[in-house]
């Protein structure tokens, strides 16, 4: 009888185990998990801190007993694998509860050890709590129940922000420290500002561009000398693949520090597979490897491995990296690459910004979104997207991620037939509008200028024209711009200079109309992408006095 040993449970390991059982009712399937919990909702842990998920039991999806009852899986918790003998095809297991060790044979071995929190060598770091497992969240909840007045979260990524939000739900004065100059590094700067504003609106104090120098008894000292009150300190600066067993076994490790695998998730030893956060993934944009610690990818890899072990045909799928996070009343989502990564890789790209409503504006409750799409100017394929808003963000990012998987060009978004009724969308859905914008730009009909390019245009004497109403202009405008409302533009052409012109409006739509009109009259004109709304949220606006 075939014996398959799986090291690590949760998303990847349990997905592989249950799929294996469905494919082979007789195989011996043994799952070894060093913690007390083998199947739980890892992504729900921060919400237990805030009491949004009130019972810890609701996070526990399956137990060793329930998995044995339903699937006849041999699940052994508190069992840590401390060595792999590839020649003998055995693993050495430490029974943590009994304090003993034993050897276990395998025909195939699946590594799903996950990732470990990054813990830097900061003085006093032993006082910081990490959030990765059920045991971790229990320790944090106990600490929160002790009634601390202040907390510092170190790290402005997904987990750090979710943790900060839930600490505020518990009434704790919370500060968030991030060494980068923005929160949520997958976002570009002008999108991350929206998230930072939402955090500040909900009284999360941000310390950006600073590292933690030391953790004291009841405070945290920052690299610039600031002292931040901190009765509770939570560390959330990221994770690294847990490759200790793989390295001990002599398995190949990839350039990003994860376990190297092929398209079937086989390691350099074909009888050993690696899945989940510990394994490097092939990136869908450029075909190189990357680390994408997401639960849905781990689940998919578990299924692929089970199918391959059982001789079934498998589908190789590269990783796009689609992620979403709730930030108080905001939804923030990303897929693919951001502009920073494209620029660092030397890739050409065309950015597109839009600020559509979540549904038809005449139906009550419509909310504005900010969406950014990055397009390959040569192939017109979508390289990545980001979206921030209070409603409708999730379904738009999912459509874009699906379009990327299908290999659609950006202009093909205009042709998608999406569900429409006033409470849910618009006749021209935001996705369709992105397609129209892309079509105009890639065909050469329109020309755009980005917020971070505007200064260079102005420095060489390009005229800047604000085509919003006088009232909008009076409330705030970009310096050195002249105001000619779009509805008056046709009759005031004589007021325009003969040189190159950059047009802007609030979100880009009126700007497109104005630019088309001027182009028809022979002007060399470009539209500020995303309009004043994108510019005002960008770093460019933070250094000037733009309000009259």
The position carrying tokens 């006033």 is 422
pLDDT at 546 over 80: no
Asked whether residue 8 is assigned to any structural domain, the reply reads yes
Tell me the C-alpha distance between 31 and 4, whole Å. 9
Per DSSP, the residues of 416-483 read ------TTT--SS-HHHHHHHHHHHHHTTS--EE-TTTHHHHHHTT-EEEE-S-HHHHHH---TTEEE
What pLDDT score was predicted for residue 292? 87
Among the residue ranges 378-392, 433-447, 486-500, the one predicted with the least confidence is 486-500
Instruction: Give me the number of domains the chain comprises.
Output: 4
Q: Which residue has the higher pLDDT, 9 or 125?
A: 125
pLDDT at 373 over 60: yes
> 222: which strand partners?
212
Cβ–Cβ < 8 Å for 14, 57: no
Does the pLDDT value for residue 368 go beyond 50? yes
Tokens standing for residue 371: 């969406």
Residue 362 pLDDT greater than 70, yes or no: yes
Residues 231 and 245 reside in one and the same domain: no
Please tell me which residue in 23, 43, 180, 416 is annotated as part of the active site: 43
Strand segments, DSSP code E, in 291-349 are: 323-327, 330-336
Range(s) of the domain holding residue 336: 329-442
Using the 3D structure, point to which of 206, 237, 268 is the last residue of a domain: 237
Contact between 38 and 31 (Cβ < 8 Å): yes
Position 542 scores a pLDDT of: 66
- Find the mean pLDDT for residues 1-22: 92
Provide the pLDDT for residue 543.
54
Distance between CA atoms of residues 496 and 481, nearest Å? 12
Cα separation, 88 vs 269, in Å, equals 13
Which pLDDT value is given to residue 456?
Answer: 94
Tell me the backbone φ, ψ of residue 76, rounded to 5 degrees.
-120, 105
How distant, in Å, are the alpha carbons of 191, 354, 477, 506, 541 from that of 447?
Answer: 22, 15, 21, 17, 22
- Helix, strand, coil abundance in the chain, percent, nearest 5: 35, 25, 40
In this structure, is residue 315 part of a structural domain? no
**3-state secondary structure string across 144-178:** HHCCCCEEEEECCCHHHHHHHHHHHHCCCEEEEEE
pLDDT digits (tens, 9 = 90+) for 315-355: 888 999 999 999 999 999 999 999 999 999 999 999 999 99
Asked which of 237, 266, 294 is the last residue of a domain, the reply is 237
Distance of alpha carbon 289 from alpha carbon 348, whole angstroms: 20
Identify whether 43 is a catalytic site residue.
Answer: yes
Residue 280 reports pLDDT greater than 70: yes
Contact 14, 120 (CB under 8 A): no
Confidence grade of residue 545 (pLDDT, cut at 50, 70, 90): very low
107: helix, coil or strand? coil
Any idea what the CATH number is for the domain that residue 96 is in? 3.50.50.60
Residue 317 lies in a domain: no
Q: How confident is the model at residue 548 (pLDDT cuts 50, 70, 90)?
A: very low
User: Per residue in 481-520, pLDDT tens?
Assistant: 999 999 999 999 999 988 899 999 999 999 999 999 999 9
Picking from 216, 237, 258, the residue at the C-terminal end of a domain is 237
Considering the domain architecture, whether residues 101 and 129 belong to the same structural domain is answered as: no
Q: How would DSSP label each residue in 6-54?
A: EE--HHHHHHHHHHHHHH-SSSEEEEE-SSS-SEE-GGGHHHHHTTSS-
Q: Would you say residue 181 lies in a domain?
A: yes
pLDDT at 315: 87
Measured distance CA(369)–CA(388) in Å, rounded: 6
DSSP strands (E only) in 341-403: 350-354, 369-375, 382-389
User: Residues 334, 371: one domain?
Assistant: yes
Q: Is residue 18 part of a domain?
A: yes
Residue 122, pLDDT score:
94
**Residues 399 and 419 grouped into a single domain:** yes
User: Residue 174 pairs with which residues in a beta bridge?
Assistant: 151, 204
User: Which pLDDT value is given to residue 305?
Assistant: 96
What average pLDDT does the chain have?
A: 94
Residue 487 counted as domain residue: yes
Is pLDDT at 379 greater than 70 in this prediction?
Answer: yes
Judgement on whether residues 221 and 233 belong to the same structural domain of the protein: yes
Q: And the tokens for 313?
A: 């045909």
* pLDDT of 162 above 70: yes
Predicted pLDDT at 519: 93
228 with 261, same domain: the answer is no
What b/e sequence results for 106-115 when a residue is b if at least 16 CB atoms lie within 10 Å of its CB, and e otherwise?
A: bebbbbbbbb
Residue 538 and residue 391 share a domain: no
Two structure tokens written together for 42: 């890892």
Residue pLDDT, tens place only, 190-207: 999 999 999 999 999 999
pLDDT at 61: 82
- Tell whether 333 and 427 lie within a shared domain: yes
One domain, residues 60 and 131:
no
Note whether residue 151 is domain-resident.
yes
Residue 104 pairs in a beta bridge with 91
In a domain, 323, yes or no: no
Residue 62 banded pLDDT, cuts 50, 70, 90? confident
Question: Torsion angle, CA of 47/50/55/58, rounded to 10 degrees?
Answer: -10
Per-residue pLDDT at 447 exceeds 50: yes
Q: Are residues 467 and 421 in the same domain?
A: no
Identify which has the larger pLDDT, 35 or 103: 103
- Is the domain of 163 the same as that of 188? yes
CATH code assigned at 499: 3.40.250.10
């Amino acid at each position: 009888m075939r014996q398959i040993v799986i090291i690590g449970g949760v998303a990847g390991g349990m997905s592989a185990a249950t799929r294996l059982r469905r494919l082979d009712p007789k195989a011996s399937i043994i799952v070894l998990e060093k913690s007390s919990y083998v199947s739980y909702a890892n992504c729900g842990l921060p919400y237990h801190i805030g009491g949004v998920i009130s019972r810890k039991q609701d996070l526990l999806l399956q137990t060793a007993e329930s998995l044995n009852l339903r699937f006849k899986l041999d699940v052994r918790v508190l069992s840590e694998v401390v060595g792999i003998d590839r020649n003998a095809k055995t693993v050495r297991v430490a029974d943590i509860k009994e304090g003993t060790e034993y050897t276990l044979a395998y025909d195939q071995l699946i590594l799903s050890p996950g990732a470990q929190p990054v813990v830097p060598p900061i003085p006093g770091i032993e006082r910081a709590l990490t959030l990765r497992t059920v045991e971790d969240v229990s320790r944090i909840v106990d600490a929160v129940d002790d009634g601390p007045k202040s907390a510092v979260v170190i790290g402005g990524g997904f987990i750090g922000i979710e943790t900060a939000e839930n600490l505020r739900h518990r009434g704790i004065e919370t500060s968030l420290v991030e060494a980068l100059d923005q929160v949520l590094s997958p976002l570009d700067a002008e999108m991350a500002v929206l998230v930072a504003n939402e955090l500040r609106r909900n009284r999360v104090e941000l310390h950006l561009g600073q590292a933690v120098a030391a953790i004291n008894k009841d405070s945290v000292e920052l690299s610039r000398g600031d002292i931040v009150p901190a009765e509770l300190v939570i560390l959330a600066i990221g994770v690294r693949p847990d490759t200790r067993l793989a390295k001990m076994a002599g398995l190949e490790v990839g350039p990003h520090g994860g376990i190297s695998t092929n398209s079937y998730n086989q390691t350099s030893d074909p009888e050993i597979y690696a899945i989940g956060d510990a394994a490097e993934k092939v990136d869908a944009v450029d075909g190189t490897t990357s680390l994408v610690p997401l639960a849905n990818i781990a689940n998919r890899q578990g299924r692929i491995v089970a199918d391959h072990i059982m001789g079934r045909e498998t589908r190789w799928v590269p990783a796009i990296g689609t992620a979403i996070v709730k930030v108080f009343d905001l939804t923030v989502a990303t897929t693919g690459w951001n502009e920073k990564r494209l620029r660092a890789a030397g890739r050409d790209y065309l950015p597109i910004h839009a600020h559509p409503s979540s549904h038809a504006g005449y139906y009550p409750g419509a909310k504005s979104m900010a969406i950014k799409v990055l397009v390959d100017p040569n192939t017109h394929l979508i390289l990545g997207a980001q979206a921030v808003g209070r409603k409708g963000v999730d379904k738009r990012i999912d459509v874009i991620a699906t379009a990327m998987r299908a290999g659609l060009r950006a202009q093909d978004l205009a042709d998608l037939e999406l569900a429409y009724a006033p409470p849910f969308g618009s006749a021209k859905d935001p996705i369709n509008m992105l397609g129209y914008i892309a079509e105009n730009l890639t065909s050469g009909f329109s020309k755009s200028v980005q917020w971070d390019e505007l200064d260079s245009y102005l420095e060489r004497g390009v005229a800047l024209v604000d085509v919003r109403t006088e009232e909008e202009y009076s409330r705030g405008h970009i310096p050195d711009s002249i105001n000619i409302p779009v509805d008056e533009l046709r009759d005031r052409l004589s007021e325009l200079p003969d040189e190159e012109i950059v047009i802007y409006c609030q979100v880009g739509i009126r700007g497109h109309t104005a630019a088309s009109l001027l182009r028809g009259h022979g002007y060399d004109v470009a539209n500020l992408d995303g309009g004043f709304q994108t510019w005002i949220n960008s770093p460019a606006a933070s250094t000037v006095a733009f309000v009259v």
